[in-house]
Amino acid sequence: MNRRVVILGAGAAGLPAANRLVRHAGSDAAPEVVLVDRADGHLFAPGFTAVMFGDAEAGAFSRPLADLADPRVRLVRGEVTRIDPDASAVTGTFGELPYDELVIALGADVGWPDGPPPAGELAPWTLHGALAGRDVLRRLGPGDRVVAGPMGTAYRCPPAVFDLAVRIRQMTGADVEIVHPWPRPLAPFGEGPAAAFTELLAGAGVRFTGEFAIAGITEDTVTSSSGSQAGFDAAFIVPPHRPPAVVADSPLAGESGWPAVSYPSFTHPAYPHVSVIGDLAAPALRAGLAGTLAVFEAAHVADRILARAGGTDPGPPRMSAICFADPGRTGSFLHCDFAGPAAGTGPAACALMPWLPYFRKAKRLFAEEWFDSMLTGEIA
């Protein structure tokens, strides 16, 4: 009987892993690949910013899973309710699925666990936030105060908060302030990116208040853990990113709820047949939350699973990630190699590309390539 590989989550990590497994397997070692997701479509989340600024509709960033998954991948729609690595099985609204190999690619849950704050959910890290933010932007003007910032340091695409603030400033003329736990913009990514984004904000007239960890939000004020406050008429706050409850409540979870992950195998230390990739693996590996990084991880784990059945050793994983910056007139992107943090040998190696108009076009093309080539599993 063929070995069964069950993959939980059809996002930036799970879908390319499933496609690569069936396309790179030899006929004698082809596993049964089962891809589980609660939705029947795949969303390109970076497109939410374009939706908020009225540059595109949400439908432009969504495709049916049936069109993106290789026909040899078995698609199962349903909610995962229990992961039991001791029994090598997962349970959900679809029943029970035993596995020989499990790949967990459920990502991070993005949103407010107890409901949005009184100021509402306006930031384009969710589709709801993008649509609500679009409506608020239409009402803002030069006399208004805007606050932007994240609820923590771990969120998808770190540069996005900064160019979001710049675009709001350019579009509305409002007084815009960024509040952030970092002492400088992009401080963990090196002097070059930090200096470039500091200059970007200053040139746009956007104020930056560092070492501001948001502890509370009311209808018109954000308060930091140290008691500092910033008033606003509109707050574009990145929602908390947290591990899915089904993982946090499983034997895979550490004290924080995020799973432990061994590098370079991407397996759980206690369960060698359980792999964790994508945003869910980022905290353990001290890596960024980025879809491009998830795609590279997916390719490595798929190749490693196939190698167990007689395939070629995949070698060291690529830990490359990019996040586009689009402040409105020109564009850039931050490129980081997270191999150092993942291996415990040093910091991330990051570089910011020059600010050039054609990088804005590259960002739009990247959304197309995401569906055409990134999700196929052929990236590496």
Q: Kindly report the average pLDDT of the chain as a whole number.
A: 94
In this structure, the strands spanning 332-337 and 320-325 are antiparallel
Domain that holds residue 24: 4-108+243-315
Half-sphere exposure (Cβ direction) of 63: Cα atoms closer than 13 Å: 18
If asked whether residues 145 and 74 sit together in one domain, one would say no
pLDDT tops 70 at residue 57: yes
pLDDT tops 80 at residue 380: no
Which of 90, 66, 69 lies closest to 20, judged by CA?
Answer: 69
Q: Which DSSP letter does residue 281 get?
A: G
Which of 185, 153, 158, 110 lies closest to 283, judged by CA?
Answer: 153
* pLDDT band at residue 360 using 50, 70 and 90 as cut-offs: confident
Contacts of 343 (CB under 8 A, 6+ apart): 263, 264
Contact 379, 16 (CB under 8 A): yes
Radius of gyration of the chain (CA): 21
Please indicate, yes or no, if residue 366 is contained in any of the structural domains: no
Q: Which of 222, 240, 258 is at the close of a domain?
A: 240
If asked whether residues 159 and 52 sit together in one domain, one would say no
DSSP-derived secondary structure for 346-373: S--EEEE---BHHHHHHHHHHHHHHHHT
Q: Which of 211, 240, 269 is at the close of a domain?
A: 240
**Tens digit of each residue's pLDDT (9 = 90 or more) over 201-227:** 999 999 999 999 999 999 999 999 999
CATH number at residue 210: 3.50.50.60
If asked whether residues 101 and 247 sit together in one domain, one would say yes
**Backbone dihedral angles phi then psi of residue 40, each to the nearest 5 degrees:** -105, 10
If asked whether residues 215 and 270 sit together in one domain, one would say no
Please indicate, yes or no, if residue 141 is contained in any of the structural domains: yes
Please indicate, yes or no, if residue 380 is contained in any of the structural domains: no
If asked whether residues 135 and 232 sit together in one domain, one would say yes
Q: What is the pLDDT of residue 327?
A: 87
Can you read off the two tokens belonging to residue 82?
């229990």
Can you read off the two tokens belonging to residue 124?
């384009």
Q: Which of 193, 214, 240 is at the close of a domain?
A: 240
If asked whether residues 227 and 163 sit together in one domain, one would say yes
Share of the chain above pLDDT 90, in %: 88
pTM: 0.95
Please indicate, yes or no, if residue 265 is contained in any of the structural domains: yes
Which of 115-129, 254-268, 303-317 is the least confident region? 303-317
If asked whether residues 253 and 218 sit together in one domain, one would say no
If asked whether residues 104 and 208 sit together in one domain, one would say no
Bigger pLDDT: 15 vs 331: 15
Neighbours of 228 (CB within 10 A): 14
Which of 243, 284, 240, 283 lies closest to 83, judged by CA?
Answer: 243
* pLDDT band at residue 359 using 50, 70 and 90 as cut-offs: confident
pLDDT tops 60 at residue 53: yes
If asked whether residues 38 and 51 sit together in one domain, one would say yes
Please indicate, yes or no, if residue 340 is contained in any of the structural domains: no
Average pLDDT over residues 96-116: 96
Which of 35-49, 73-87, 284-298, 356-370 is the least confident region? 356-370
In this structure, the strands spanning 41-43 and 32-37 are unpaired
Contacts of 342 (CB under 8 A, 6+ apart): 263, 264, 285, 286, 287, 319
Please indicate, yes or no, if residue 332 is contained in any of the structural domains: no
Distances (CA, A) of 224 to 157, 217, 344: 22, 9, 31
Which of 283, 357, 277, 359 lies closest to 318, judged by CA?
Answer: 277
If asked whether residues 79 and 146 sit together in one domain, one would say no
**Tens digit of each residue's pLDDT (9 = 90 or more) over 139-177:** 999 999 999 999 999 999 999 999 999 999 999 999 999
pLDDT tops 60 at residue 375: yes
pLDDT tops 70 at residue 371: yes
Total domains in the fold of the chain: 2
pLDDT tops 80 at residue 79: yes
pLDDT tops 70 at residue 91: yes
pLDDT tops 70 at residue 374: yes
Please indicate, yes or no, if residue 362 is contained in any of the structural domains: no
Contact 114, 227 (CB under 8 A): no
Contact 220, 232 (CB under 8 A): yes
* pLDDT band at residue 1 using 50, 70 and 90 as cut-offs: very low
If asked whether residues 248 and 212 sit together in one domain, one would say no
Contact 41, 64 (CB under 8 A): yes
Please indicate, yes or no, if residue 182 is contained in any of the structural domains: yes
Q: Is the peptide bond before 264 cis (omega within 30 degrees of 0)?
A: yes
If asked whether residues 68 and 174 sit together in one domain, one would say no
